[in-house]
Amino acid sequence: MSLKPTIFGFLALAIFLGTIATAQTAGLWSTSGKVTTSGEKVAPTGASVEEIKGWMTLGDIAKAYNVSVAEIAQTFALPAEQATPDKPLKELESETFSVTNLRQWLAERQAQAP
Amino acid sequence: MTLDTRPRLALAGVKPQARKRTGRFSHRLWRRLSQIGFAAFIAFVIVQHWLAGDTSATTAASAEAFCPFGGLETLYHFVTSSGKFVPHVHMSNLVLAVAVLLTALLARSAFCGWICPLGFLQDLASGASSQLQRRVPAVHRFVRTLKTRAAFLAVLDRPLRFLKYGVLVWAVGGAALFGVMVSRDYDPWAALLTIAEFSLTPGLLVLLVTLGASFFVERPWCRYACPLGAASGLVARLGPVYLKRHAPACHGCAVCNKACPMGLDVAKAATIKSPDCIGCLECVASCPRAGALELKVGLPAVGK
């Protein structure tokens, strides 16, 4: 059976876009780690340090992991004027601070807690 | 030399006539519109995300959420860790990866030829090169001289095409082993998607080299290094769609070879099921003989 080039193109686009539309209809579509596939906002829960992302703020982390912003700032030598609760972690990255370092520190802290 | 091919053509059931001029709404037009549409969408997402910023208060999607290869990179992690993703990857990446592979299975690597904005950028660079060579004779002479002097490098073309499979194994295997996208810093697509962050990465250098090389070789990234194209091409081999060259109707003019942006030898093949074929069908559109090149649907995997 022969296929016309234009039909072939539209078929390819239909398969590609159809798959996306099907996933969206089934609730399997999310373009951000900040919202779930059902559209609810994601916030750190303190359950696992793996959940910590660069877009989360110092305030989010402090609340979820029961630690003060000042303690985080002191541990990682963050400048006081930058270490504010509304500051996303990725904007604080330096030689002494990264999301990975913060995860490690919080994991050790959780392990030491009674 | 002109041969009378009419008896052979009659036997093959092919009319010995020149191809009719393609209409205004040829597949070339639709293909370009499709490429422009997807590229415009990605540009919109990049600008929107840049304007919105990236804090916990904003939920504007990053353009990286629309990269199908991220879905392939996270697949192992997703399956083995009960639905978790490697950093910078979301459910949309996984869905897009499935969409690309499903498209490849049913319509060859049409994603590369009709949708991929990085492929489109390379097409634009090659088009600009052609225009420049047509209008400025000095540029034409320079490119011609360069191509003549570098002709000995043609022997590297075939072995270099296997490089993309190595990149595929490295990127997907690395993400499975280390839980992060090991290729991200070197990925020209990731560099383009995060261009609004103004960060100088090796990926940006690869992007610039790719676009520069596109002035001399069409689709260099797709030919030699694209891991997504490699995966798509492998899946496409299992699909039912293939190109058939009717030898009796073919003049052997090799216009199809010149039209093929992936540099495939269409003029000598009986059927074209190369994993490098991007389904752009420029060869079919350029063929001067009606019925010499046709897109066929056959048995899956066998393709005949």
Instruction: Tell me the per-residue pLDDT of A25-57, one tens digit each, with 9 for 90 and over.
Output: 998 888 877 776 666 777 888 888 888 888 888
CA B125/CA B31 separation, integer angstroms: 17
Q: Per the CB < 8 Å rule, is B92 touching A30?
A: yes
SS3 A3: strand
Is B65 near chain A, with CB under 8 Å? yes
pLDDT per residue over B128-169, tens digit each? 999 999 999 999 999 999 989 988 888 999 999 999 999 999
Chain A residues inside the 8 Å CB shell of B26: 5-6
Question: Which residue type occupies B59?
Answer: T
Among B200, B274, B213, B212, CA closest to B243? B274
pLDDT confidence of residue B56: 52
Question: Model-level pTM?
Answer: 0.82
CB distance B184 to B69 below 8 Å: no
CB distance B27 to B285 below 8 Å: yes
Chain A residues inside the 8 Å CB shell of B180: none
Is B133 near chain A, with CB under 8 Å? no
CB distance B66 to B96 below 8 Å: yes
Is A48 near chain B, with CB under 8 Å? no
Q: Which residue of A has its CA nearest to B304?
A: A1
Q: Per the CB < 8 Å rule, is A32 touching B100?
A: no
At residue B17 the predicted structure's pLDDT band, cuts being 50, 70 and 90, is: very low
Is A63 near chain B, with CB under 8 Å? no
